[in-house]
């Protein structure tokens, strides 16, 4: 079975903290993605990566950065967390078919 694993299911952080969300896949996929999901707004692409050390901005990259030092791991970084970044964050990886992590519900207080 393909596995995409996100490091945390629930996370509570304080405003201004640096936050790391980790995603690991075990299928040697080239492509990895980070989305956030908010009620009524669907799944919005933050960043994606098509190879190690390669990254592309998605539709809402402001306030976020990413790191892909190894093929299996794609990290989303909130440089200085703010309350408007409270959301569900979803990671995906793909070759052809995409597979999804279980999601991380981040609350910034």
Partner 1 sequence: GIQVEQSPPDLILQEGANSTLRCNFSDSVNNLQWSHQNPWGQLINLFYIPSGTKQNGRLSATTVATERYSLLYISSSQTTDSGVYFCATQTSGSRLTFGEGTQLTVNP
43 counts as binding partner 1 under rule CB under 8 A: yes
Residue 80 C-beta: closest distance to partner 1, Å: 25
User: Is residue 48 part of the contact set for partner 1 (CB under 8 A)?
Assistant: yes
Which one of 27, 45, 60, 77 is in contact with partner 1 (CB under 8 A)?
45
61 interacts with partner 1 by CB under 8 A: no
Interface stretch with partner 1, choices 12-20, 61-69, 70-78, 101-109 (CB under 8 A)? 101-109
Report in angstroms how near the CB of residue 98 gets to partner 1 at its nearest: 5
Estimate the share of the chain in helix, then strand, then coil, as percent rounded to the nearest 5.
5, 60, 40
How far is it, in rounded angstroms, from Cα 23 to Cα 66? 11
Q: Does 76 bind partner 1 (CB under 8 A)?
A: no
- Say if residues 12 and 109 touch (Cβ distance below 8 Å): yes
Name the 3-class secondary structure at 25. strand
- CA-based end-to-end distance of the chain: 36
């Amino acid at each position: 079975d393909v596995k995409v694993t996100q490091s945390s299911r629930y996370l509570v952080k304080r405003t201004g903290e640096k936050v790391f969300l980790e995603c690991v896949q075990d299928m040697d996929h080239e492509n990895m993605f980070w989305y956030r999901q908010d009620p009524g707004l669907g799944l919005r692409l933050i960043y994606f990566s098509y190879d190690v050390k390669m990254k592309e901005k998605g539709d809402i990259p402001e306030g976020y950065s990413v790191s892909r030092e190894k093929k299996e791991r794609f990290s989303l970084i909130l440089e200085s967390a703010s309350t408007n970044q409270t959301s569900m964050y979803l990671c995906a990886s793909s070759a052809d078919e995409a597979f999804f992590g279980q999601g991380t519900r981040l609350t910034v207080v």
